[in-house]
Structure 1
Amino acid sequence: MTPTVIVVGGGYGGIAVAKALDDVADVTLVEPRETFVHNVAALRATVDPEWTDKIFIRYDGLLSRGRVVRDRAARVSATEVELASGVRLPADYVVLATGSSAPFPGKIDSLVRDDAVTRLHRTRDALLRSSKVLLLGAGAIGLEFAGEIKAAWPEKSVTLVEAGTDLLGGRFPGEFRAELRRQLDALGVHLLLGTSLRALPEPDAGSLRPFTVTTAEGDVLAADLWFPCFGAEVRTDYLDAGLAAARQPDGRLAVTSQLRLAGQETVFAVGDVTAVPELKQARAAGEHAEVVAGNIRALIGGEPVRHEYRPAPDAMLLPLGPAAGAGYAPEWGLVGAEATAQYKGTFFLDDYRELLGARVSA
């Protein structure tokens, strides 16, 4: 009989694994969302109406032999995935690809496409009518969002507050962070580093209403719209007792170099849900998927598992709107605004449309 592979989660890693194994296994992809969401472009879609519809791609064309089941995993064991609907799916191999969540609009959290589109339109309208925007967190999401807002509305006041003393947690070389600071200054973004707020703003995030907040030093900031740009989380409470031993305190899953769940032979994990010490990026999830798909193909063919994953050094291309941004990778060094805008101008949308079997845009 054809071996069964259940892939739990239809994000970047999940779709790549499912596609790669569709020709050798009975693949079922379990995903509660109505469509794939290209979250890499979510912040551009928030400010630019031309991008709003583009980031939602149907799953229909992903698999030619397998199937996509719109449901949520309620309990996962090494041999079975029980869905929230009560359906039980037997599995020879399980791939955990449930990703992470983060505050909107850094990640789109709606399960229904129309609901997500409505929320994006509502957020864009709030941004359009606001005069002073406060962003909390100077990681990649906060910086990119600040750049997108200023590129769309140069006259708007944008203040970014960060408890750490430097951008991106100081994780990258100083020349990269200095170039980002230079461009943010040119855009008119007001950076407040090394401080925090005594309390979060009273209005709900994304709600247009004037407010004031006080920093730890006692400075008063006034704005009428704010967004949290920190706090990525993973949910792995669906694991049964036999798999839960791999869960780390932050919810991420310990994996071997072969991306097997610690202590398991036929259960694998990819993407943000793993405890691999690296930046959580779509690129890494795709590389995880290649390793896992290769290892499962080997097991199906009765061959030894040889594929191993080695985390790459930190690398990033960070757009600050359509015409600005910077990047860094050890093999490139510093990448300036023009090259960053060129590489990230399409957010590699056509690559994911092709993977999902959708029509590639002109």
Structure 2
Amino acid sequence: MSKNIVIVGGGIGGGSGVARTLSAKLPAAKITLVNPLPYAVSRPTLPRMTVSAGNDLFETALIPYDKLFTTPNGTFVQGVVESIQADKKGGTVLLADGKQLPYDVLVLAPGSHWEGLLNIPDDSAAVTEFIAAGRENFKKAQKIVLVGGGSVAIGKSLFTLKYAGEIKDVWPSKEVTIVHGSSNLMNSTYPSGFRKGLEKSLRARGVKLVLDDYVDEIPAPGPTTIRTRKGTVIEADLVVATRGPRPRTEFVGKSLGAGTLDEKSQIKVKPTFQLLEHPDIFALGDAVNTIEQKQVMKAMAHSAIVSANVIAYLTGASSLKSYKGSSEMIVVTNGKNGGKGFVGVLGGFTLGDWFVRMVKSKTLLVPMTRGAMGY
């Protein structure tokens, strides 16, 4: 099966998972993975990585693609996708540096745009300086305001809560305030008791909460006074945007037509993860319009369906697998030693500090993530 398969976006579990699976299962096909950075970023590690240098995450959580492929038919290309030229069958991906990548099947896993310290630069030369600057800003600040904490754009932002816990681990005496635009933390996907439990655990660590309110502008680091929409005045040395993301899909709409995207700029897909008007283009991860919370584990579930369906499509199978959704579950860390988890099966149940510490808080799943990338 001499076919060209191009995968745009090398996120952990999403695009990288599809690339690894297809390279192993289609040894005669040419698999090309395109990503702006030469490594995948384990995004759940960013609060710990950017708060303090007292960890090894910069060395372990930015995972190169050099061990991703287990067979010689896989290739990594560092670059930013400028546009897609879709023909009646197949097409070409055009990169910003002028490179052209022909495809028989295209897989889109472009991920999201983030804000502030979650917005890792696409320029790999700037990443070290970016991380160092974040750490220095946290170190110098005594009064820190985290803006976010719930449902924004296409998904939820856990990062507000995670940042609060990481800051308190390193500097328990620093003043941390969360400003969140709902009356409860997180969003209504999760039960009230779970959300109230998160609030209680943060308050117990001295974190202040300003709920049902907003900060519209993020000032530069340094002593400042911010005023919320409702008029609350907060003194701050550092204001950090930790709000939810928006899909990185501009090139998709520009190339394939605005109708390819929904009102939230998510890619419209069939249950098979094929685009509505392009059966040879699949999409997955944060950027698609599946009705569910946007999480790494969901992207991994998408990856398994997409990989199977690409193979079925190329072999002329009469039907492809449909995605039936995944149970909602989440693990929210509160520093290295605790947090809360929610599992949405059997009526839903909550797990506490011991469980979260064992499964996630200590390592932030870095060993598992590196294993999925071939390390």
What's the TM-score, normalizing by structure 1? Answer: 0.92
Structure 2 residue 103 is matched with structure 1 residue 91: yes
Cα shift readout 1:313-332 (whole Å, capped 9, x = no counterpart): 32210001001210101226
Superimposed CA distance per residue, residues 209-255 of structure 1 (whole angstroms, 9 cap, x where no aligned partner) = 11111233433210101101114112322235545422112211010
Whole-angstrom CA distance in 2 between matches of 1:279 and 1:116: 28
The number of aligned residues is: 352
1:68 maps to a residue whose letter is F
Amino acid at match of 2:99: V
CA-to-aligned-CA distance 1:60-86 (integer Å, 9 cap, x gap) = 111232101111111113421111122
Match of 1:39 in 2: 43
Could you say which residue in structure 2 is the equivalent of 1:5? 5
Alignment of 1:177-216 (within 5 A): 177-197=195-215, 200-201=217-218, 203-204=219-220, 207=221, 209-216=222-229
Q: Greater strand percent: which structure?
A: 2
Which stretches in structure 1 are left out of the alignment for 5+ residues? Answer: none
| Cα distance in 1 for residues equivalent to 2:233 and 2:81 | 45
Q: Return the letter of the residue paired with 1:157.
A: E
Indicate yes or no: 2:163 matched with 1:145.
yes
| 3-state SS in 1 of match to 2:116 | coil
Pair 301,219 (structure 1): closer, same or farther in 2 beyond 3 Å:
closer
CA distance in 1, matches of 2:49, 2:298: 23
The equivalent residue for 1:169 is: 187
Residues 104 and 52 of structure 1: CA distance in aligned 2, closer, same or farther (over 3 Å): farther
For residues 7 and 319 of structure 2, the distance between their equivalents in structure 1, rounded to whole angstroms, comes to 19
Q: Which of 235, 251, 257 pairs up with 1:222?
A: 235
Do the aligned partners of 1:42 and 1:107 also contact (CA within 8 Å) in 2?
Answer: no
The CA deviation string for residues 92-138 of structure 1, in whole angstroms up to 9 with x for no partner, is 100001000211323423430x5223222221122122110011112
Task: Say whether 1:264 aligns with 2:278.
Answer: yes
Cα deviation for residue 88 of structure 1 reads: 1.7
Report runs of 4+ in structure 1 exceeding 3 Å deviation: 240-244
Unpaired segments ≥5 residues, structure 2: 151-157
Residue 53 (str. 1) matches residue 54 (str. 2): no
Residue 70 in structure 1 maps to residue 78 in structure 2 = yes
TM-score normalised to the size of structure 2?
A: 0.89
Identical counterparts, % of pairs: 30
User: Residue 324 of structure 1: which of 323, 326, 338 is its match?
Assistant: 338
Structure 1 segment 114-153 matched on structure 2, within 5 A: 114-139=125-150, 140-153=158-171
> Is contact 1:151-1:187 (8 Å) kept?
no
The one-letter amino acid of 1:4's match is: N
Q: Tell whether the 8 Å contact from 2:36 to 2:122 is kept in structure 1 after alignment.
A: no
Is the contact made by 1:41 and 1:55 (CA closer than 8 Å) also made in structure 2? yes
| AA aligned opposite 1:338 | W
Counterpart in the other structure of 1:100? 112
**1:154-192 per-position Cα deviation (integer Å, ceiling 9, x unaligned):** 110000011211111333101111110111011110001
CA shift, 1:90, in A, is 1.3
Distance 1:253 1:99 in 2: 11
- What secondary structure does 2:186 align onto? helix
Residue deviations 1:26-54 (CA, integer Å, cap 9, x gap): 10011111221111211111224212222
User: SS in structure 1 opposite 2:332?
Assistant: strand
Letter in 1 for 2:21: A
Which residue of the partner structure matches residue 153 of structure 2?
none
Task: Give the distance between the partners of 1:77 and 1:347, measured in 2 at CA.
Answer: 39
- Which of 175, 180, 183 is the equivalent residue of 1:157? 175
Contact in 1 for aligned 2:32/2:76 (Cα 8 Å): yes
Distance in 1 (alpha carbons) for counterparts of 2:85 and 2:257: 7
What SS does structure 2 have at the residue aligned with 1:339?
helix
